[in-house]
Amino acid sequence: MSKLNIVLFEPEIPANTGNIGRTCVATGTRLHLIEPLGFRLNEKSVKRAGMDYWEHLDVTRYINYEDFLAKNPGAKIYMASTKAPRCYTEVQYEPDCFIMFGKESAGIPEEILLENQETAVRIPMMSEIRSLNLGNSVAIVLYEALRQNQFSQMQLEGHLTKYDWK
C-alpha cells in the first residue's frame, strides 16, 4: 500500500512537530524527522500537540540529510519552500512521494533547494509575510497531494452521532 511521506528537516518547535504528527496519523501519512531536532521527542509539548495520537504515528528518525537520502534511495522528494519558483498546485504528487519542509527559523538549506529545483514548490502568500506556520504549511500541501490521489483509503463521508443525514 502506497503512503505519502512528510519530511521535517531539523524541526525546532515541538508543538509544530506534534501537530504535524497528528495530521499524519489522521491521513495515514508517514513522518520522517531529520536531526538535529530542536527538542526531545519525549517532551510533553510534542505529545500534548499530538495528543493521544502520537503512539499511532509511523515515524522514522535520521541522523542527518545524508542518512535520509541513503535510506530512501530513488525517492521522489518535493521541497516545500518560500524560495521555490513554482506553486504547490502545479505538480502531480505520486502516491508514495516525500514532501520535505525545512526548519522553522531557516527553511530548507539553499544548496539542497538548488539540487532539487525541479521539485521545489511554494505556497503563495503576500510578499510582506516571511512564511506560514509549519503545521499549516504541511496541512495545505499534504491535503493537495491527498486530493490529487483521490484521498486514497480515507473516510470521505461524515456521520452524525444522534441523527441520520436526509
Q: The pTM is what?
A: 0.92
The binding site for S-adenosyl-L-methionine consists of: 102, 123, 131
Superfamily of domain 5-148: SPOUT methyltransferase, trefoil knot domain (3.40.1280.10)
**Sign of torsion, CA 153 55 99 73?**
negative
Which of 68, 61, 90, 93 lies closest to 78 in space, CA to CA? 93
Exposure of 6 in the CB half-sphere (CA atoms within 13 A): 35
pLDDT digits (tens, 9 = 90+) for 89-107: 999 999 999 999 999 999 9
pLDDT digits (tens, 9 = 90+) for 19-34: 999 999 999 999 999 9
- How much is the average pLDDT of 59-82? 97
Q: Which residues contact 63 (CB under 8 A, 6 or more apart)?
A: 35
The binding site consists of: 102, 123, 131
| Domain boundaries of the chain, sorted by first residue | 5-148
